[in-house]
Each structure stands twice: as structure tokens, then as C-alpha cells.
A and B are shown apart, each in its own frame.
Chain A
Amino acid sequence: MGTGNERGDVMKFQIAGALCTLMIAGGSYAYAQTANRQNADALESELKNRALTRAAVDPAPVGEVAKETVESGVNWIEMRTALALTARREVAAQQTATRAVSRPPGMRAAPAETFKSVVVREVNLTRLPLLAPEGPRVAETLKVYSLGDSYSATAEVEDGVSMRMSGSRRKIVVGERPAALARMRAMRAQEKPLASLETPYVVTRSDSSTDLSFSKFGAGYVLSLMCDDPADARCADDAFIVGLASNIMLLNPEAGGQ
């Protein structure tokens, strides 16, 4: 009987211990939840206090409006010179090499008619050098949409990677404001030379794309790569996108007159 009582007492202490543990765990969880909620509430309140509103009547202007959009004069002579330069490099490579060598990088003419998915009319409408990267899959899937002073070319590059190359001969003048200048200086400071086109480039990355931007022939261009996984080396490292930008096709070599 005494042994039974003792066993019962031990069980009661065990239950009490378990309840104590539960209470401590529950209390800690409740405390953490309350603390989190209080932190979040305090932050929300602070955000509301810092927020700006707009007057319903006679509002002040918002931000600094970009000054104007200007048209760039396209340097068609430079475009033809770049084509000729690549041709000379290729001839030189063939003459000096005694064994098979890789093609030198550069810009090559690739008339629109040679691509099955490209609508020639779109290319003919384009009033700036229409550039797109080379590549077997690109050639198979390339599409061009032109708006005259701007265009975009899109394609699959390889499994899991697609690309968009856009160009424009119009540019927005944001003005000499310190914030804008500081941002542009920071971008320019990251520029490296793109040897094949003899122009500097800058690479930026985000969740949605890896972008290589450069200006050439008076126009601005951006080559964007979209990878299934942004951590894919083809998007995470510069080598792949720089390689694409180094071998560029010119789809409208006859543009710009003689």
C-alpha cells in the first residue's frame, strides 16, 4: 500500500514537473510572440509617423522631373568601321594561324533574312544599329520587335537561360542633380572595357536578370540574361554575359544609308 502511495506521489511530481516545463515553454513562446508583436507595432507606428502625405489642394510637386528626352545622332560610319575591323581581324587570324584557332570576337553582319523567326520588316524599321548576341539557340529562336528609335530582340540562349537585348537612340536627360550624378558616377566606376566593341560596359544583377549595359554608335544598349536560378553561374558570374556581348550580330548592316 505504502509502495503504491509512493508511486502515486512520484507520478504527481512528474506531472507537476511536466506542467512546469510546459508553462515555461508556453510562457517563453507567448513572451516572444508578444515581444515580436510589440516590436512590429512600434515599427508600424514609427513608419506612419515618418510618412509623407499629399495635400488635396495645391500640392507641391513630387520629386524632380527629368528635363527632356533627346535624340542621339547615330554614328553609322563608326558602325561600318566596326564591321570592317572584325573582318580584318578574321582575315589576320586565318593568315597567321597554322592550326585551327577560335574566331576573334567582334561585330558581324547577319542579315535578318537568315533568321527564321525574325520579321524582316521589323528590322528595316529600326533607325539604329540592331544588335543581338550570336549563338546557335539564339539564331533558332530570335525575335525582333521594333519601335523605330528603339528595339528589342529576344531569344532562348541555352536551357534555363533566355535573353533580351534592347537599344534606343533616344535618351532621357535627368540633369546634373547630385543624387543622379553620384549614382551615375558609381555605375561608371564599375565599367570595364568590352574589347570587341571598343567600349566600356557595366554589369548589374538582380533577382530577375543580369544586365550588361554599354553605349555604342551614339545609342544605348542593354543585354539582359534571365536565368531560372539567379545563382546559376551563367547569371551569377560575368564571364557568360561578357562572352555573349563580345560576339555581336548586326542585323541591319545596310541601315543608315551609304
Chain B
Amino acid sequence: MRIDRASERGNAASWLLALLVIALLIGGWFWLRGNSGSPSNGEPPADDGPPSDEQDGPENGPADPDDEPAEPPALVDEDGRVFSYLPVGDLLPNSGPGLADDTVYRSDILFPTEDAVYLNSQVYRYGGMNGALNGMNGAQCDARNYDYPWQDTFCEKRDRNQPLCPGGGHEGLDIRPHTCAKNTHWAVAVEDARVIDVRRHWVTLQTEDGTLYNYLHLKMDALEVAEGDLVAKGDRIGMISDNFFKSDGTSVPTTTHLHFEMYENYVASPGDDPLFTKVNPYVTLVAAYDRKLRAE
């Protein structure tokens, strides 16, 4: 009897083991199948050729002539992608209050890059330290980071409380270059200006009327400009990279992007005392990109 019971237990354990192995194999197969659809593979997106209509967003869907009148054609970039953008101040969930300032501070500047680019968060998207807050786990080169729509990142939360961004602290815009490849895509002067500071990981330009432009994270050892230079609108400044240094030269990790800041000396009415502070350049850059895509 004892031998029979042991034999039965042995058989039961063998069957259980076999079933678990089969379940594991089937489960693993389904899991792998589910993951294969993810574009988050850490590889840079293809640099050439327009993506499919499906990737272009809602505006590119074929209109049904029976339903609504056909929408006018939308502005596209050099790859044929429809340029789309979220309204100013419309930040990712859990990423800060934003600042809805729809002012075009400079109506005639050039866009600060040579190629098509993507404005979005470096911290709250794929590859960012807080990407998981929105389920955006992945690498910085995830193709979804290199797509429209643009999204504002001014006053994105960075634990630096101050009057312009209550509860926020990112007083600039983060611009991903055309592809994830660093030291490849150029940042250019938005206006005729003077290079007034080249230090650590930034280059600062100033215009005759005082506007300051900060370009951060360029490849600092291969800049096209030097301190004191006069630059003309469109002149190359440097390649977009991930340089981020302390004053002793220690490197701090960051993603490949151009952090772009703008200071204005501004008033509501001509007789007022001015405020000389950083301003949100988002709408100014949307307008500049619009002109760039139209080759104006």
C-alpha cells in the first residue's frame, strides 16, 4: 500500500510538472507574441521616407465624402509627416502645471535647428527618469519620441518652485533632433546676434534689443562659434548632443536634445517698467517652424 501511495504521489507530481511546463511554454509564447508589437526597441527611427498614414495622426485619415467636407491639406515636414502640436501649456499628465502663454515674442526668427524636430519631454517620456509615471517605459531612442505631435515642456515639474511656474521649474523647451543620433543635427542662430557666453554646456546669444537665447547640450568641443562672435541668422552654432558638464568638467548624464531658452525684456504697455525674465518660447517656435516648413 505504501508503495502504491508513493507511486501515485510520484505520478501526480510528474503530471503537475508536465502541465506547468506546457503552461509556461504557452504563456511564454503569448507573452513574446504580445511584446513583438512594441516599437520600443531602443533603435533610432528610420531617418528617411515618410511614415505610414496611420502614424500621422487623426488628420491624415481618409475622409468619407458622405460624412463631412474634405479637410484642407495639412502642412507637412520634409519627410512628408503632418506637423501637429498640442496647445501651449498642455503638458503630459503628472508632469507639471505648464504656462499657457500664447505670445509670439519674435515673429521673424528662424527655427533653431536645420532639420525637422520633435518637441517633447525628456523626463516624462520613454527613456526619461519619470517615463514610468505615464507607462512610458523604454529607451530615449524609442520611435514614439521621434514623432508629432509636439508638446510643451515649459514649467515642467523639476522640483524648483518659483513664481513663473508654481510647482514647476523647467523654464525652457526640450527639442529632440531629427533622429536619435547625437552629434549629427545642427542648431542654428535664430537671429543676427552676438555670442556672449560659451561655458560648461551652454552657448548664449544676445540680440541688439536684449533678447537672450540659451542653447544647451550641444557638442561643446566642436562648436562653430566662439565667445564674442557676431552670428547671422541661420549660422550654425553646434551639433545637438548630450553634453552636460559641471564647472570642473564632470559629466552629468542626459538625453540627446537641445534645451532652448529665451529671455525677454517685456512690458504690457510702453510706459511700464520692464520685466527681464525667461519666457515660454513654445508658440514663438510653433510660428517659426510653420514658416520653416513653408520655406518662408
Which of B74, B197, B211, B274 contacts A53, CB < 8 Å? B74
Within 8 A of B (CB), among A153-198: 154, 156, 159-162, 164, 166-177, 179-181, 183-184, 186-190
Which A residues lie at the B interface, using CB under 8 A? 2, 5-6, 8-9, 12-13, 15-16, 19-20, 22-23, 26-27, 30, 33-40, 43-44, 47-59, 62-66, 68-70, 72, 143, 145, 147-152, 154, 156, 159-162, 164, 166-177, 179-181, 183-184, 186-190, 202-208, 211, 213, 215, 219-222, 226, 228-230
Q: Please, how many residues of chain B have a CB less than 8 angstroms from a CB on the other chain? A: 111
Beyond the given pairs A50-B90, A168-B265, A171-B266, 6 more chain A to chain B contacts, judged by CB atoms under 8 angstroms and listed by A's residue number, are A12-B16, A51-B58, A56-B76, A59-B75, A66-B106, A145-B195
Determine the distance from Cα of A40 to Cα of B125 in the docked complex, in whole angstroms. Answer: 9
Q: Does B236 contact A (CB under 8 A)?
A: no
Contact of A160 among B59, B207, B247, B275 (CB under 8 A): B247
The one of B35, B158, B261 that contacts A33, using a Cβ cutoff of 8 Å? B35
Q: Does B253 reach chain A (CB closer than 8 Å)? A: no
B210 touches A54 (CB 8 A): no
The 4 closest A-B pairs by CB, nearest first: A168-B210, A39-B135, A51-B149, A12-B13
Instruction: Say yes or no: B274 contacts A174, CB within 8 Å.
Output: no
A256: shortest Cβ distance to chain B, in Å?
18
Residues on the B chain within 8 Å of A226, using CB: 199-200, 202
Q: How far is the CB of B149 from chain A (nearest CB, A)?
A: 3
A53 nearest CB neighbor, chain B only: B74
- B237: CB under 8 A from chain A? no
B24 touches A22 (CB 8 A): yes
Most buried by B among A149, A160, A169, A179: A179
B183 located at the interface, meaning its Cβ lies under 8 Å from any Cβ of chain A in the complex: no
Q: Which chain B positions have C-beta within 8 A of A53?
A: 57, 59, 74-75, 82-84
Nearest-neighbour CB distance to chain B for A117, whole angstroms, equals 11
Give B195-210 interface residues, CB cut-off 8 Å to A.
195-197, 199-200, 202, 204, 206-210
A1 to B, closest residue via Cβ: B3
B-chain residues with CB within 8 Å of residue A180 when the two chains form the complex: 101, 103, 268
Interface string of B49-79 (1 = CB under 8 A from A): 0000000011100000000000011111000
Q: A108 to B30, alpha carbons, bound, how many Å?
A: 76
Contact: A19 with B283, CB < 8 Å? no
- Pairs across A and B, CB under 8 Å, 12 listed: A2-B3, A30-B27, A53-B57, A54-B83, A55-B74, A56-B73, A166-B263, A171-B210, A171-B265, A203-B162, A204-B162, A204-B171
Chain A: which residue is nearest B34 at the CB level?
Answer: A34
Nearest-neighbour CB distance to chain B for A126, whole angstroms, equals 12
Q: Which residue among B107, B148, B163, B165 has the maximum number of chain A CB atoms within 10 Å of its CB?
A: B163
| B258 close to A (CB within 8 Å) | no
Let me know if A52 and B267 touch, CB within 8 A: no
Given A152-B212, A206-B169, answer yes or no on A211-B277 (Cβ-Cβ < 8 Å).
yes
Question: How many contacts between A and B, using CB within 8 angstroms?
Answer: 321
Q: Is A63 a contact of B196 with CB atoms below 8 Å?
A: no
The 8 Å CB contact of A52, one of B86, B212, B228, is: B86
The answer, yes or no, to whether B160 is at the interface (CB within 8 Å) is yes
Partner of B208, one of A27, A149, A175, A183: A149
User: Using an 8 Å CB-CB cutoff, how does the interface string of B245-285 with A read, 1 for contact, 0 for none?
Assistant: 01110000000000101011111111001111110000110
Measured between beta carbons, the chain A residues less than 8 angstroms from B31 are 26, 30
A34-B34, A43-B93, A56-B75 known; A150-B206 Cβ under 8 A: yes
- The smallest C-beta distance from A142 to any residue of chain B, in angstroms, reads 12
| B210 A206 Cβ-Cβ under 8 A | no
- On chain B, the residues within 8 Å of A22 by CB distance are 24
| Chain A neighbourhood of B149, CB < 8 A | 47-48, 50-52
Chain B proximity of A190: nearest CB distance (Å): 4
Contact with A along B95-108 (1 / 0, CB 8 A): 00001111111110
Interface flag for B136 (CB, 8 Å): yes
Interface presence of B114 (CB below 8 A): no
Partner of B199, one of A33, A154, A167, A213: A154
Pairwise interchain contact B207-A147, C-beta atoms closer than 8 A: yes
* Docked CA distance A23–B209 (Å): 66
Chain B residues positioned under 8 Å from A19 (CB to CB): 17, 20-21, 24
User: Complex formed: what's the CA distance from A218 to B247 in Å?
Assistant: 35
Q: Are A220 and B210 in contact (CB under 8 A)?
A: yes
* A5 neighbours in B (Cβ, 8 Å): 3, 6-7, 10
Chain A residues contacting B267 (CB-CB under 8 Å) are 171-174
